[in-house]
Amino acid sequence: MDNATLNHFCNLYYLLSFILVGTSLLLLVALHQYGSNNPLGSSRLGSFCYLFFHMDFLCS
């Protein structure tokens, strides 16, 4: 490979890391501002309504 090709790949990965960190920070800010939507609805069903995956991991 040519030196220009290597430079393009290095620049791509360098910028991609900053884009990934920036996107993660934006998602954390949005989660902090708006909160999660609680798709299981566990607060409505009671405090003992959870999904347990521990037995699935033991059996498989």
Predicted confidence (pLDDT) at residue 56 exceeds the cutoff of 90: no
Return all residues near 50 (Cβ < 8 A) that are at least 6 apart. Answer: 42
28-46 confidence digits (pLDDT tens): 988 888 776 666 555 555 5
Q: Any idea where the domains of the chain sit in the sequence?
A: 10-35
pLDDT value for 31? 85
Predicted confidence (pLDDT) at residue 52 exceeds the cutoff of 90: no
Please, is 38 exposed, middle or buried when counting C-beta atoms within 10 Å of its C-beta (0-12, 13-18, 19+)?
exposed
Which three-class secondary structure string do you get for 9-22? HHHHHHHHHHHHHH
2-38 confidence digits (pLDDT tens): 888 888 989 999 999 999 999 999 999 888 887 766 6
